[in-house]
């Protein structure tokens, strides 16, 4: 073997050795990159969990604030109710000062919680009960006539559950004056007994009795409007508001006094066959209204 051949073998051997070393270093680099990638994924997962925990904590804080507000509102209501209860106790204590209330048969005391919670107390003392208590014990002197008169003035028999009254008006002008059209008075200012429906314009009689029903219609400038009061599909009264020949409004008012039965229906309609012209006006200057009340 010549010297040149030996040199070639040595060079080849050196190249092989360096190749194996470079390959091992590359494998080590791939392993390091894989480790770095795994750690990055772990950090990303931890960040997502931290974000989720942060959102949960914020939600709990919002709920806690809402609960604090609710607790504060309930505390205010409780204080208000305690004040009202104290007022009722004072009323009862004041009533006990009169001899008429010393009997075991005390008058009926009702708290009207339909209108304004505990803030309205209706003390109902009937005249028949007063007379019974006055004559119950002949040996007792009983209250004087002045005391009875003062009691009647201070505590009238004004049970609103047995009363009925409503007052309503149109919120805007009525442009539909075609025949047989029910007029809707959609703003209700008084509705004792809840018998008037502002969506249908119908008053449903809650109990048998004598009632007064009235309505008022304004015709707009250069307009005229017929209106009929209907009770159970029967015309009881009619009115005409006519401002067709002038530039100003005109009013017409109708009134009916009738004995009505429970579940009778009362409403206002346009004319059965004749159309009106223009508009029915209802504004702050001229309200078109519908109202009624029970006399007995």
Give yes or no: residues 168 and 273 share one domain: yes
pLDDT-derived band at 14, boundaries 50, 70, 90? confident
pLDDT of residue 117: 38
Q: What is the pTM of this model?
A: 0.48
Q: Is residue 183 pLDDT above 90, yes or no?
A: yes
- Name the least confident of 64-73, 84-93, 109-118, 159-168: 109-118
Higher pLDDT, 20 or 209: 209
Neighbours of 122 (CB within 10 A): 17
Phi, psi at 42, each rounded to 5° = -65, -40
**Residue 193 covered by a domain:** yes
pLDDT of residue 146: 58
pLDDT-derived band at 23, boundaries 50, 70, 90? low
Q: 108: domain range?
A: 96-160
pLDDT of residue 238: 95
Q: Is residue 115 pLDDT above 90, yes or no?
A: no
pLDDT of residue 181: 93
- Name the least confident of 1-5, 33-37, 174-178, 254-258: 1-5
pLDDT of residue 289: 97
Number of domains in the chain: 2
Of 126, 160, 194, which one is at a domain's C-terminal end?
160
CA distances from 112 to 2, 50, 116, 160 (A): 127, 55, 7, 9
Distance of CA 277 to the CA centre of its chain: 37
**Residue 139 covered by a domain:** yes
Of 137, 160, 183, which one is at a domain's C-terminal end?
160
Cα-Cα-Cα-Cα dihedral sign, residues 192, 163, 288, 199: positive
């Amino acid at each position: 073997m010549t010297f040149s051949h030996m040199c070639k073998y040595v060079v080849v051997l050196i190249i092989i050795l360096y190749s194996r070393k470079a390959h091992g270093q590359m494998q080590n680099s791939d392993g390091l990159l894989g480790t770095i990638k795994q750690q990055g994924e772990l950090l990303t997962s931890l960040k997502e969990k931290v974000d989720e925990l942060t959102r949960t904590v914020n939600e709990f804080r919002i709920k806690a604030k809402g609960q604090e507000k609710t607790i504060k509102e309930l505390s205010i209501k409780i204080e208000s109710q305690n004040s009202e209860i104290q007022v009722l106790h004072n009323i009862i204590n004041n009533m006990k000062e009169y001899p008429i209330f010393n009997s075991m048969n005390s008058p009926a005391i009702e708290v009207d919680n339909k209108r304004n919670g505990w803030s309205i107390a209706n003390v109902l003392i009937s005249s028949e009960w007063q007379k019974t208590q006055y004559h119950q014990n002949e040996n007792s002197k009983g209250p004087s006539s002045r005391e009875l008169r003062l009691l009647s003035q201070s505590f009238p028999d004004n049970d609103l559950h047995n009363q009925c009254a409503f007052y309503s008006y149109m919120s805007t002008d009525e442009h539909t004056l075609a025949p047989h059209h029910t007029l809707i008075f959609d703003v209700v200012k008084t509705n004792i007994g809840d018998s008037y429906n502002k969506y249908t314009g119908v008053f449903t009689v809650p109990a048998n009795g004598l009632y007064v029903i009235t309505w008022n219609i304004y015709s707009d400038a250069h307009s005229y409007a017929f209106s009929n009061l209907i009770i159970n599909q029967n015309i009881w009264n009619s009115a005409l508001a006519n401002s067709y020949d002038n530039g100003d409004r005109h009013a017409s008012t109708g009134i009916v006094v009738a004995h009505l039965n429970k579940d009778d229906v009362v409403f206002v309609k346009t004319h059965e066959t004749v159309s009106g012209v223009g508009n029915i006006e209802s504004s702050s200057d001229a309200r078109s209204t519908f109202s009624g009340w029970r006399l007995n």
